[in-house]
Structure 1
Amino acid sequence: MNRLPSSTPRQLTATLALLFSLAPPTGALADAGHDHGGAPPAAAANGPQRLADGSVFLPKPSQRQLAVRTVVTTLAALPRSIELDGRVVSDPQSGGKVQALVAGRIESGPRGLPEPGQAVRKGEVLAWVQPAAAPLERAAQAAQLAELRAAGTLAEKRLARLRELADTVPRKEIEALESEVAAARERAGAIGTGLSGRDALVAPASGVIASSSVVAGQVVDARELVFEIVDPARLRIEALAYDPALISDIGGASLAVGGTQVPLQFVGAARALRDQALPLAFRAQGAALSTLAVGQPVRLQVHSRSTHETIAVPRAALMRNAANETIVWVKTAPERFAPRTVTTAPLDGLRVALTSGVAPGERVVIDGATLINQIR
């Protein structure tokens, strides 16, 4: 029997390896356009990618890494809302302004000059104002004070002599002289206080210092604003309404502060135009207001009394596509997300109403939509 040469096994191994390398793979892919809408190409199945129809393939592990969350849309009766520009103002019932009554020099209070953001109590002395007077005026007051003291001293001596002669002097003369002595003392005391006294700047309400415009030794005029005090948990929002019909249909309002929705209570509307609009006042309360500053511009949502059937989604679900259109991402399959062009209406600051583009029962991405929108 013939035997194969010793080199034959190595030649067979090389031949088999060549045949396997030339054989087509078992998972051969269909040509482009012939995948019949199935799963994405196997070569890219392990990572996120944007498909030809604009949708995004996102595997489950990637969804967990991106913290993608969805919500099932439902129809609900929600109030119609309109968005208005407003600004934060101080509540006159819980804040106040500290102004100088007289012109003079600022002196530090018992705890020093208050700093912005410092908490103060109602009735607390914040600073002193040393009244400023012209030299001639102060000299005239000093001369008047000396005359009053001298007259008071003479009146006291006369009163002492009359009291020694109380048996022979009518009682009414002694009482008249006693009144004259008391009046002289009070007038001298008042003028002396005016010469050496200071005007106290007292906090009209409890709260925090919103603004401080003075330093120690600064000279201020009468009625000049020195400190402003606000209660950070009680503020007012002032908005301008250009449609007078809106006032009669206000059912409420809300303001988004960070991730918190703050309900607003409608106080009233002014009857005098400002910049061709009617000012509206809303009262706000809550710890979330501590991040707002007096004068800060805000956008609030005013709710009407009428309602309409609509779909509400968080504002974070709204994205922009390449055409600058507003879109949301809808989960159409376990690992596929499709963009939907939508139209929206304001709702409450944290949520918006979808008026078209999404049907009830669909799953809209509310967390991770920004990252999905960036997949290419």
Structure 2
Amino acid sequence: MRTLTVLVISMLLVGTAAAAPGAHGPNGEHIRPDDKPVGGTGRQADGSVILPMPDQAKLGISTAFVQPQTVSKTVRLPAVVRPHPQGHAVIQSSSDGRFEAPGSVVLSTGSWVSAGQRLGYVHYQDTAYELASQNSELKVVRNQIAQTRRDVARLKALGELASQQELDQLQTRLKNLSEQEAALQQGLEKPEVLTAPISGIVVNQQVRSGQWVEAGTALFEIVSPERRRVEAMASDTNRLNQYTSARLLAHDLPELTYTGYSPKMHGGTAKVFFDYQRQNPGEPPLLLDQPVTLLAKLDESVTGIVVPSRAVVRDQANLPIVWIKVSAERFLPQQIQYQALGPDRVVITQGLGADNRVVVNGTSLLNQVR
């Protein structure tokens, strides 16, 4: 009789443990007694995992109760980092000539320059005919200046007998000739000065001191690290007016602002543009022409359960799952459908109910238990 009593109590204890608070399936249903595993610890025949509490601590497993919430809908967009129009400058020569570096030091790629800083000079190289023609013209102008000065001196010597109107005309002519002489002299001697229109990092386009350059050739680029434009490709043209902002996956950077889209199609897709503004000097740099993935927010909402992205793993069929804790030592895998919300968050839209205890840390290790 005593043996029978002990057996009944043991069965009651087992039944109580199986139906303890928190022991429920993905949609809130209680685990039935006949669902309990029959094996020892580790992976069970039904796919669940039995893991003692000490082992859970070793794997760093922790859980969190989850509730549905409404968040902005997102889409993934392939993109490329481009220079921002207001943070990018191209330095070109306006005429053919020979490049000369300031102080004999050519700025190399990666150098920092400030707005207004001299980047170099371009000396125009005249042909023998052009040089002779300019010298001849300069000589004629100087002769005219000398003659005009003599005429002015002659009139001034006449005193009151001189015509004031004629004197004024000669002085005006003398001024114009002097300006013409200065312009001709400058054309022969003064080089074109190349200056930086903005502050930023220099990109040297393989220019060297003494190199012959042609008009319109790009010698330097200056890129400001403060701003970037991210160019993304969107296949769904019905959503071009629904984008609000975006985040870069795999980059811990501030949100990007949506600025608009190109009115032309490019290879069957539309180009959409997001602007990046650096907020902290310690932020990792975005390199030009760097391929990135954008997680763009839409002016739409979706209801689901938000969990850390590390809570989602793949099963043997390569389907996304989360692990829920149905009892103190039992974990159950649950197939889900989800959307990314950022580099570290996802929203589960199907497959998970409210008030579940979802494994949020140690999920990858738990998924490997056999």
**TM surpasses 0.5:** yes
* 1:272 paired residue number: 264
CA contact (8 A) 1:254 1:262 kept: no
Give 2:303's match in structure 1, choosing from 309, 319, 335: 309
2:247 corresponding residue in structure 1 = 255
Task: Confirm or deny: 8 A CA contact 2:246 2:258 kept in the other structure.
Answer: no
Residue of structure 1 equivalent to 2:229: 236
The letter for the 2-side match of 1:92 is: P
Q: Distance in 1 between matches of 2:245 and 2:226?
A: 17
Deviation at 1:170, TM superposition (A): 0.8
Is the 1:152–1:184 Cα contact (8 Å) retained in structure 2? yes
Tell me how far apart the structure 2 counterparts of residues 293 and 318 of structure 1 sit (CA, whole Å): 30
d(CA) in 1 for partners of 2:210, 2:51: 67
Amino acid corresponding to residue 224 of structure 1 in structure 2: T
Counterpart Cα distance in 2 of 1:265 and 1:102: 40
One-letter amino acid of the structure 1 residue matched with residue 261 of structure 2: A
Give the TM-score, by structure 1 length. Answer: 0.77
Counterpart of 1:325 in structure 2 is 319
Residue 206 (1) aligns with residue 199 (2): yes
C-alpha distance after superposition, 1:289-320 (max 9, x if no partner): 64211221222122222212112223333333
Taking the aligned partners of 1:313 and 1:303, their CA distance within structure 2 comes to 18
Q: CA deviation at 1:257?
A: 5.6
- Which structure 2 segments of 5+ residues have no match? 1-35
Which deviates further from its counterpart, 316-325 or 122-131? 316-325
Name 1:178's counterpart in structure 2.
171
**2:363 is the alignment partner of 1:369:** yes
Q: 2:57 and 2:103 mapped to 1: Cα distance?
A: 59
Distance 1:348 1:258, change over 3 A: closer
1:320-359 equivalences in 2 (<5 Å): 320-359=314-353
1:145 corresponds to which residue?
138
Q: Which residue of 65, 71, 88 maps to 1:72?
A: 65
Q: Specify the code of the residue in structure 1 equivalent to 2:40.
A: P
Tell me the matched-pair count.
335
Distance 1:120 1:70, change over 3 A: farther
Tell me how far apart the structure 2 counterparts of residues 64 and 127 of structure 1 sit (CA, whole Å).
65
Superposed CA offset, 1:262-310 (max 9, x none): 2222212222222233322222223476421122122212222221211
Cα distance in 2 for partners of 1:147, 1:118 equals: 47
Q: 2:273 aligns with which of 277, 281, 303?
A: 281
2:23 corresponds to: none
CA distance in 2, matches of 1:136, 1:334: 97
Alignment check: 8 A CA contact 1:253 1:300 kept? no
What is the Cα deviation at residue 110 of structure 1?
5.6
Provide closer, same or farther for how the CA distance between residues 214 and 176 of structure 1 changes in structure 2, counting only shifts above 3 A: same
Q: Quickly say closer, same or farther: Cα 1:365–1:201, change in 2 above 3 A.
A: farther
Gap runs ≥5 in structure 1: 1-35, 42-48
Find the aligned partners of 1:211 and 1:110 in 2 and give their Cα distance. 17
2:40 maps to 40
SS in 1 for 2:246: strand
Measured after TM superposition, the shift of residue 76 of structure 1 is: 1.0
Aligned equivalents of 1:100 and 1:181: distance in 2? Answer: 34
- Give the structure-2-normalised TM-score: 0.78
Deviates more, 1:176-185 or 1:114-123: 114-123
2:115 aligned counterpart, secondary structure? coil
Distance 1:120 1:60 in 2: 60
Partner in structure 1 of residue 288 of structure 2: 294
Contact 1:80 1:306 in 2 (8 A): yes
d(CA) in 2 for partners of 1:217 and 1:53? 78
Between the aligned partners of 1:262 and 1:66, the Cα distance in structure 2 is: 33
CA distance in 2, matches of 1:217, 1:50: 74
The residue number in structure 2 matching 1:217 is 210
**1:115 touches 1:212 (CA, 8 Å); kept in 2?**
no
Name the larger-Rg structure. Answer: 1
- Provide closer, same or farther for how the CA distance between residues 348 and 114 of structure 1 changes in structure 2, counting only shifts above 3 A: same
Q: What is the percent sequence identity of the aligned residues?
A: 29
1:265 is paired with a residue whose SS is strand
Q: 1:162 to 1:310 in 2, by over 3 A?
A: same
